Amino acid sequence: MKKILVVFGTRPEAIKMAPLVKELKKESSFIVKVCVTAQHREMLDQVLSFFKIKPDFDLNLMQPNQNLNQLSGRIFTEIDIVLENFKPDIVLVHGDTTTSSIVAMASFYREIKVGHVEAGLRTYNRQAPFPEEINRQITGRIADFHFAPTEASAKNLLAEKVSEKAIFVTGNTVIDALLWGIKNVNENNVDIEKLQQVINSTKKLIVVTGHRRESFGEKFKSFCEALKELSQREDVQIIYPVHLNPNVQKTVHQILKNNTNVHLIDPLNYEAFIWLLNKSYLIITDSGGIQEEAPSLKKPVLVTRNVTERQEAVESGVVKLVGTSKEVIVSQAVKLLENKEVYSKMISKENPYGNGTASSKIVEILKSF
């Protein structure tokens, strides 16, 4: 029997790896164990609870104010103990986090094969997203199996001289997670009950997220000023689950507090968040995962970044890059709020990231090897 170790550390990774873990554990030919670095802690635990996944190894590495070098060193040390004791045949990592790149490297040093889920996304800009772009490229140089979500991401890998035999186009597991999650949402969830009391059904709900490092400073202020201007409209309500990073909290509350049309709330658990997305009229975000999820919910997305590694969504018209300019964000949002034709066109496209079968495809590929 083949031994598979699935490793992740952040909330987005947990969401995207959860349906794959569930599919892998259905297979009697695999011994599957889950390791979390807990690069995020509380936010990660919420996802694990919702998907009913109990880690076999919990490295519990989150510490206040640790920098990327400190985190990387601790991941290297702790994951090596797990690799030595479990001796997996393959390690599966996800995407672009510090956990993914360091675990991939540690596995390579022990000559263990690495599978990279959500492989091949690129901006080719080292600073955007930072440090994720380089994390993803490092993992891509190491991986033996590249599970690319789209043909475009597969082409990126081919251009980098990755063997065609090692690349598999599967769709994105985030869609698997979303579709499972929407079916299993419990509306008695405490966070959902609170949201139900806040949402004004007579207004168009704009759901906002924003947390990327490369936007901190003047760019982030401009983004918040755009939200402030949009909130002056009588037909709009904004709900913003505010990231816990102090750089985010300070600016958001300085500009948007005491605004009756803007509800600044704590980060939501995954179950409540996808429920909220499903209730939205429009989403403004710098999140990668939401760019992938929202088209399946038929919600238009304005992405407050200048570049994205998810270019397929831009090209298909289901998301629009608007950067952090106040004027551009406001003008593009107003178009969607006032022009039904523009809105309908944006939500009528198919999701380029798949239909919820990515996890089963990955399992079949692993079985064949």
| Residues classed as catalytic | 96, 118, 132, 211, 213, 243
Distances (CA, A) of 177 to 7, 13, 57, 84, 350: 17, 11, 22, 31, 18
Helix (H, G, I), strand (E, B) or coil at 52: coil
Give the burial string for 293-319 (b: 16+ CB within 10 Å, else e): bbbbbebbbbbbbbbbbbbbbbeeebb
Q: Tell me the residue length of the chain.
A: 369
Nearest to 62 by CA among 92, 35, 36: 36
Judge if the upstream peptide bond of residue 131 is cis by omega within 30 degrees of 0. Answer: yes
Q: b/e map of 123-159 (b: 16 or more CB within 10 Å)?
A: beeeebbebbbebbbbbbebbbbbbbbbebbbebbee
Q: Which amino acid is at 52?
A: K
**In the numeric block, which tokens belong to residue 324?**
């952090």
What's the start-to-end Cα distance of the chain, in Å? 12
In angstroms and rounded to an integer, the radius of gyration of the C-alpha atoms of the chain is: 20
Rounded to 5°, angle at Cα 127 from 122 and 129: 55
